[in-house]
Amino acid sequence: MSASAPRSASRPERAVRPERSVRPERAIRPERSVQPERAVRAERAEPFRLARQTLRPSRLRPGSRVAVVAPSGRNDPDLLAEGCRVLAGWGLDVQVMPHALAAHPDLHYLAGPDADRAADLEQAWLDPEIKAVLCARGGYGAQRITDRLDWAAMAAVPPKIFAGFSDITALHEALSLRLGVATLHAPNVAVTSFITFPEAQQGLRQALFEPDCAASRVLASDGAQWLVPGRAAGLIAGGNLSLLAAGLGTADGRQASHSGCGFAGCILLLEDVGEDCYRLDRMLTQLLRSGALDGVAGIALGTWANCGSPDTIRRVMRDRLGGLGVPVSWDLGFGHAAPQSTVPLGVPAELDAGKGTLTFLEPAVA
């Protein structure tokens, strides 16, 4: 996906029907009041010191309260209701935040004004009764709200589970770099690829409730190959290539390696959707030229849905990443192609590009 060319991931042309309720059975708590719109505090966007210690939130249990937020694109009310029914079926107390079905008055691709989307996320994170924050969908908009969040207040409370992917990569990066919290690169819960694929549901459920499950410790796929053979160890980071490139040099993105905020020592995950090969080339070149990839330990490539011929994409990846001299694996299965995997971020792992496996040495959830 491109940060410069927003696209919707689930029926964007369909108008949101405000009269439809998204309270499946009694699983969703009544909406709560939200803070009035406030000005962005400039000091929140100042450079910060990289969090050095990884914090792992506690696992969920039956009856745990979770919040569903919409930090990016607009949501379909039917899909949101279906996703919440899945979560409620796991015994969770689901609270849909007030603006999850909102629409921006001028920009149709956003789920409401920036201040409202930020307030929902901040309120969910600061609420001591909420144990996990699950994103409804991606699209575009997460970058627009990061400077509006009160990171000092969010750092002062215990960490909680955060899950989502695609545009949500911007928030994974912010939570990792600012707070040092391990998160889940996981299916968004209000999209068809989560609702219609039991494998996607099972992967997220295991990560939330049974993080020590052996099935969750190794990521592999039938199509896995190596572009550069070898083994590497490091902390898992990354996600959507477009968002990683767009975040370079920002307060919540990666910097040159000498700053201590690059991908040095990391196993970097990369995936994307709907990007032509020359755009993939451009974004990889941007990462290389910025110095953010200096010292990277290894690279695990996921799926490249609607990005062109797999052979051409492989050639681009080998051309741009092969010179780093680190193991590079091809097609470990995570990303936009269904069924979507749940992958922990911010935890130590071992990549064996020759075998096509990524082994997580500990889960993101304690």
Q: Are residues 207 and 291 in the same domain?
A: no
Q: Are residues 313 and 207 in the same domain?
A: no
The rounded distance, in Å, linking the Cα atoms of 85 and 254 is: 37
DSSP codes, 38-78: -PPPGGGGS--PPP-S-B-PPPP-TT-EEEEE-SSS---HH
Beta bridge partners of 300: 269, 329
Q: Tokens 């992917």 belong to which residue?
A: 165
Q: Are residues 329 and 236 in the same domain?
A: yes
Buried b (16+ CB within 10 A) or exposed e, 91-113: ebbbbbbbbbbbbbeeeebbbbb
Indicate if the pLDDT at residue 290 is higher than 90. yes
| Residues in contact with 197: Cβ distance below 8 Å, sequence separation at least 6, in sequence order | 338, 339, 340
CATH number of the domain bearing residue 64: 3.40.50.10740
Quick check: 206 and 273 in contact, CB under 8 A? no
Q: Is the residue at 36 inside a domain?
A: no
Quick check: 243 and 275 in contact, CB under 8 A? no
**DSSP assignment letter at 303:** E
Q: Is the residue at 365 inside a domain?
A: no
Q: Across residues 224-249, what is the average pLDDT?
A: 97
* Structural domain ending residue among the three candidates 193, 213, 233: 213
Q: Is the residue at 10 inside a domain?
A: no
Q: Are residues 201 and 226 in the same domain?
A: no
Q: Is the residue at 89 inside a domain?
A: yes
Verify whether residue 108 is a known catalytic residue.
Answer: no
Q: Over the stretch 301-341, which tens digit does the pLDDT of each residue have?
A: 999 999 999 999 999 999 999 999 999 999 999 999 999 99
Q: What is the pTM of this model?
A: 0.86
Q: Are residues 56 and 200 in the same domain?
A: yes
Verify whether residue 82 is a known catalytic residue.
Answer: no
The rounded distance, in Å, linking the Cα atoms of 87 and 163 is: 13
The rounded distance, in Å, linking the Cα atoms of 269 and 324 is: 15
Buried b (16+ CB within 10 A) or exposed e, 175-204: bbbbbbbbbbbbbbbbbebbbeeeebbebb
Residues in the chain: 366
The rounded distance, in Å, linking the Cα atoms of 108 and 12 is: 9
Q: Over the stretch 124-179, which tens digit does the pLDDT of each residue have?
A: 999 999 999 999 999 999 999 999 999 999 999 999 999 999 999 999 999 999 99
Beta strand segments in the chain, E: 65-69, 93-96, 130-135, 161-164, 183-185, 218-220, 225-228, 231-240, 266-273, 298-305, 328-330, 343-345, 348-352, 357-360
Q: Is the residue at 153 inside a domain?
A: yes
Q: Is the residue at 1 inside a domain?
A: no
Q: Is the residue at 19 inside a domain?
A: no
Of 238, 232, 267, 233, nearest in space to 254 by CA: 238
Mean pLDDT (the chain, rounded): 88
Q: Are residues 201 and 227 in the same domain?
A: no
- pLDDT bucket at 15, cuts 50 / 70 / 90: very low
Q: Tell me how many domains the chain contains.
A: 2
* Structural domain ending residue among the three candidates 189, 213, 237: 213
* Structural domain ending residue among the three candidates 213, 248, 282: 213
Q: Are residues 275 and 199 in the same domain?
A: no
The rounded distance, in Å, linking the Cα atoms of 341 and 80 is: 20
Q: Are residues 89 and 199 in the same domain?
A: yes
Domain that holds residue 332: 218-360
Q: Are residues 83 and 178 in the same domain?
A: yes
Among 173, 271, 275, 290, the one annotated catalytic: 271
Coil vs helix vs strand at 309: coil
Q: Are residues 124 and 161 in the same domain?
A: yes
Verify whether residue 271 is a known catalytic residue.
Answer: yes
Q: Are residues 134 and 254 in the same domain?
A: no
Among 2, 8, 72, 166, the one annotated catalytic: 166
Q: Tokens 């690279």 belong to which residue?
A: 299
Q: Are residues 238 and 196 in the same domain?
A: no
Q: Over the stretch 179-213, which tens digit does the pLDDT of each residue have?
A: 999 999 999 999 999 999 999 999 999 999 999 99
Quick check: 115 and 37 in contact, CB under 8 A? yes
Indicate if the pLDDT at residue 40 is higher than 80. no
The rounded distance, in Å, linking the Cα atoms of 316 and 363 is: 32
CATH number of the domain bearing residue 269: 3.50.30.60
Q: Is the residue at 125 inside a domain?
A: yes
Among 8, 173, 336, 341, the one annotated catalytic: 336
**DSSP assignment letter at 189:** T
The rounded distance, in Å, linking the Cα atoms of 14 and 119 is: 25
Indicate if the pLDDT at residue 55 is higher than 60. yes
The rounded distance, in Å, linking the Cα atoms of 310 and 190 is: 28
